[in-house]
Amino acid sequence: MLTINQYVRPQSLDEAYELCQKKNTVVLGGMLWLKMQSRLVGTAIDLCDLGLDTIEETADSFRIGAMATLRMLETHAGLNQMTQNALADSVRSIVGVQFRNCATVGGSLFGRFGFSDVLTLFLALDADVELHHGGVLPLREFAEMPVLRDILVRVIVRKRNIHVAYQSQRNTKTDFPVLTCAVSEIDGVYRCVIGARPMRAVVFEDESGLLSGGVNEDNARAFADDIAVRVSVGSNLRAGADYRRRLTKTLVRRALLTLGKENEPCKSN
């Protein structure tokens, strides 16, 4: 059972940050995973009055507020056009629409949960995060940091020449993923992200240049084999380590071949 002693809706980021420095405080986010815990919370901080529930498009980026919902990501035309619908693909199996209407981007990323589809996809997009105290830093760097007392303000996805594909495996459609995989090519640089391993998502790059000539069946298989050797996987109730390693080969190859099809020039009739 979750017990909250004090509920506060700060009226500024400065106020939220100051409250966050106190012991036994928690930022609520969408409060979907938090409410499943059995714990006593001294002060619960609700950011709903701070205008962070928007997705702003500028000339060079998309700026996604921490209180924007996963459903907003799923249905945002501009973001999904830029990502070839990979963003929608990454969230549409997360429980159901009602859940995605409540779950927030900030709650999904700040916790850096091992099962997070959202973290996997945004790492592949080479996104940045903006912290109120810590400023702007790469999500990849943030994902490796220990738990910190700061406020996640927004996620920033820069507009670049992006091609990305997302894959996941679940035992049942709306269950937590057994493994997540996102592969991207951004301005000629390939990266692969593996999550739900069951640890938090981790980024790999094409260090051997296997994909330097573009994606085909042979080098997609070789790259997938390379990632399966390099990735650290473990076992839990959903799957064993050996299965996850085999699954890595399959999902990486599928994502790469999807990416290769997206990069094919259109044929005229």
Domain annotation covers residue 79: no
Is it the case that residue 166 has pLDDT exceeding 90?
A: yes
Domain annotation covers residue 115: no
**Cα distance between residue 159 and residue 119, in whole Å:** 18
Q: What are phi and psi of 164, to 5 degrees?
A: -145, 145
Q: Helix, strand, coil % (nearest 5) of the chain? A: 35, 25, 40
β-pairing, 128-131 vs 152-158, is antiparallel
Q: How far is CA 216 from CA 156, 209, 219, in A?
A: 31, 13, 6
pLDDT digits (tens, 9 = 90+) for 193-230: 999 999 999 999 998 899 988 899 999 999 999 999 99
Domain annotation covers residue 205: yes
CATH number at residue 241: 3.30.390.50
Domain annotation covers residue 151: no
Is it the case that residue 267 has pLDDT exceeding 80?
A: no
pLDDT of residue 23: 85
Ramachandran quadrant class, 87 (left: phi over 0; alpha: psi -120 to 50; beta: rest): alpha
Residue range 45-57: mean pLDDT, rounded: 95
Is it the case that residue 104 has pLDDT exceeding 70?
A: yes
pLDDT digits (tens, 9 = 90+) for 229-260: 999 999 999 999 999 999 999 999 999 999 98
Q: What is the count of structural domains for the chain?
A: 2
Please give the DSSP secondary-structure letter assigned to residue 35.
Answer: G
Domain boundary among 26, 46, 66: 46
Domain annotation covers residue 210: yes
pLDDT of residue 2: 77
pLDDT of residue 265: 46
**Cα distance between residue 71 and residue 104, in whole Å:** 9
Q: Which residues contact 177 (CB under 8 A, 6 or more apart)?
A: 93, 115, 117, 168, 169, 170, 195, 196
Sequential DSSP letters for 158-216: E-SSEEEEEEEEESSTTSPEEEEEEEEEETTEEEEEEE-SSSS-EEEE-TT-TTTT---
Domain annotation covers residue 54: no
Positions of E strands within the chain: 2-8, 25-27, 39-45, 55-57, 61-65, 128-131, 135-138, 152-158, 162-170, 177-186, 189-195, 202-205
Categorize the per-residue pLDDT at 266 as very low, low, confident or very high, splitting at 50, 70 and 90: very low
**Cα distance between residue 29 and residue 51, in whole Å:** 13
Ramachandran quadrant class, 169 (left: phi over 0; alpha: psi -120 to 50; beta: rest): beta
Domain annotation covers residue 169: yes
Tell me, yes or no, if the pTM score tops 0.95.
no
pLDDT of residue 247: 97
Domain annotation covers residue 105: no
Q: Which domain holds residue 198?
A: 162-264
Ramachandran quadrant class, 112 (left: phi over 0; alpha: psi -120 to 50; beta: rest): left
